Amino acid sequence: MSDDAFDLVVIGSGPGGYVAAIRAAQLGLRTACVEQYPRLGGTCLNVGCIPSKALLDSSEHFEVAQKGLAAHGVRVAEVALDLAVMHARKDKVVHDLTRGVETLFRKHKIERVQGRGRLVSASEVEVSGEGLPRRLATRRILIATGSKAAAVPGIAYDGRRIVHSTDALTLPEVPARLLVVGAGAIGLELGSVWRRLGSDVAVLEFMDRIVPGTDTGSAKLLQRSLERQGIQFRFGVSARTARVIGETVEVQVEPAAGGEAETLVADVLLVAVGRRPFTEGLGARELGVAFDERGRIVVDAQFRTNVDGVYAIGDVIAGPMLAHKAEDEGVACVERMAGVAGHVNYDCIPNVVYTWPELASVGLSEEAARAAGRAVHVGTFPFLANGRAKAMGEKDGQVKLVVDAATDRVIGAHIVGPRASDLIAELVVAMELGASAEDLARTVHAHPTLPEAVKEAALAASGRTIHI
């Protein structure tokens, strides 16, 4: 290999790829990052985490201005929606953050190569885009090509009436009726955005609950809150086909267990039934890289594929499709390349649904712990009894801790409530450090704050809660 070869070529600039590239450069690896789109940041910055949270925040302001201020003694005359400004603000947030990644690349002298990357061999990546293809010689290749929205067979996206999350982030007007397929994070978050802005929202879900896989009791609490806000749920049903008729969509819906189909009509149909790994045109299969039955690249604990010198991280491999999981895998992967002992603790990956209230969890659900034969204590504390939540006017939700009965270690935490996304951090750190419920219970928490509910839940695990 020539001396001017890169030490590492990263394909994909999402949170997995760009963070890996920065860490690799910090560790002294001569690094290039290939991205097919003109903007860095991948799904998360451009069409995922960031624009969805920008709209969640804006739509929350709109709803609070309409309905939430009077109770605080704040009178507003007229509240009107300017959707174009809301979208423009979201676009600026995205623009600023993607420019931030460009700046970080320059700072770390990472070569940014725009175009579609394809593995020619384990030491060569061909980049095609505008102009002639360019070949990058490299000692290692890191695949961080992420994922794309999955589809329901029988339902074709048209980008206007039948949409996936990307289009649902840019709807030019508020649909009167929004039908959502899938009660996962995307369905609930984007369903919440458009409901707050004025849509009638109904969510169809194949399973018998929202956010399958999370703690059942906590998901139920969130479901009730969302129902009170006006979102309707239909469980145990599956969307089969859909067709656009004029300005509406007709959706054929069947019971998941089989039976008579019915027709539902909406103005926009949002299909949010998961995402699939994206490896089209990558050349990985041709090179002999192993994939699993769900199209994910198979890696070992050091993120090595079966082809020497080729690695993979993020949404394109197994595990939860989350930005922070991709980031931490990127860091651990390149640290291992550089001889540093990086690792990812998959037992401690937080998962947040950014509805209001939010649902945040880490570790084992109560039912998963019991199913695994673990004897557990469960401590819960409702926000209704938390002084700060009361002052904020937040009544919904609770903190729930799942604690190993033998060791008192916290093995799971599930929060439904205001700022649950921030509150979960304390519990992620506690679990990383092997803390017990007693450790949390004896840690002084500032008063009056929402985290006091965490302390009270820890006390509740041994029947000593003070405020209920």
- What are the catalytic residues? 447
Give, as ranges, the residues between 113 and 142 that touch ligand FAD (CB under 6 A).
Answer: 116-117
* Helical ranges in 373-419 per DSSP H: 387-392
Which range in 34-42, 214-222, 316-324, 402-410 contacts ligand NAD by CB under 6 A?
316-324
Q: Does 291 bind ligand FAD (CB under 6 A)?
A: no
Q: Does 451 bind ligand FAD (CB under 6 A)?
A: no
Q: Does 238 bind ligand NAD (CB under 6 A)?
A: yes
Among positions 6, 8, 15, 414, the unique one binding ligand FAD when judged by CB under 6 A: 15
- Helix or strand holding residue 124 (H, E): strand 124-128
Smallest gap from Cβ 462 to ligand FAD, in A, equals 33
Q: Does 44 bind ligand FAD (CB under 6 A)?
A: yes
Q: Provide the 3-class DSSP secondary structure of residue 312.
A: strand
Contact 415, 406 (CB under 8 A): no
Non-local CB neighbours of 1 within 8 Å, separated by 6+ positions: 123, 137, 139
Give, as ranges, the residues between 251 and 290 that touch ligand NAD (CB under 6 A).
Answer: 272-275
What would the x/- binding string for ligand NAD be over residues 353 to 372, using CB under 6 A? xx------------------
178 has which bridge partners? 201, 268
Task: Please name the residue that has the structure tokens 């006006």.
Answer: 230
Q: Considering only CA atoms, which of 408, 269, 313, 369 is closest in space to residue 12?
A: 313
Smallest gap from Cβ 189 to ligand FAD, in A, equals 7
Give, as ranges, the residues between 22 and 41 that touch ligand FAD (CB under 6 A).
Answer: 34-37
Smallest gap from Cβ 73 to ligand NAD, in A, equals 34
Cα 325 to its chain centre, rounded Å, is: 10
Q: Does 171 bind ligand NAD (CB under 6 A)?
A: no
Q: Does 152 bind ligand FAD (CB under 6 A)?
A: no
State both tokens at 283: 């050349």
- Helix or strand holding residue 324 (H, E): helix 323-337
Non-local CB neighbours of 167 within 8 Å, separated by 6+ positions: 157, 159, 160
Q: Does 100 bind ligand NAD (CB under 6 A)?
A: no
Smallest gap from Cβ 148 to ligand FAD, in A, equals 8
Total of residues contacting ligand FAD (CB under 6 A):
36
Q: Does 144 bind ligand FAD (CB under 6 A)?
A: yes
Angle formed by the axes of helices 49-63 and 185-196, nearest 10°: 40
Cα 51 to its chain centre, rounded Å, is: 12
Q: Does 403 bind ligand NAD (CB under 6 A)?
A: no
Among positions 13, 355, 365, 465, the unique one binding ligand FAD when judged by CB under 6 A: 13
Task: Report, in angstroms and rounded to the nearest whole number, the Rg of the chain calculated over CA atoms.
Answer: 24
End-to-end CA distance of the chain: 69
Exposed / middle / buried, residue 2 (Cβ in 10 Å: 0-12, 13-18, 19+): exposed
Q: Does 152 bind ligand NAD (CB under 6 A)?
A: yes
Instruction: Round to whole Å and give the CA distance between 389 and 419.
Output: 10
What would the x/- binding string for ligand NAD be over residues 183 to 212, using CB under 6 A? xxxxx-x--------------xxxx----x
Instruction: Round to whole Å and give the CA distance between 164 and 461.
Output: 42
Which range in 84-92, 117-125, 300-308, 320-328 contacts ligand NAD by CB under 6 A?
320-328
Handedness of CA 198, 261, 276, 411 (dihedral sign): positive
Q: Does 16 bind ligand FAD (CB under 6 A)?
A: yes
Interacting residues toward ligand FAD by CB under 6 A: 11-17, 34-37, 42-44, 48-49, 52, 116-117, 144-147, 165, 186, 278, 281-282, 314-315, 321-324, 326, 354
Interacting residues toward ligand NAD by CB under 6 A: 152, 181-187, 189, 204-207, 212, 238-239, 272-275, 320-322, 352-354
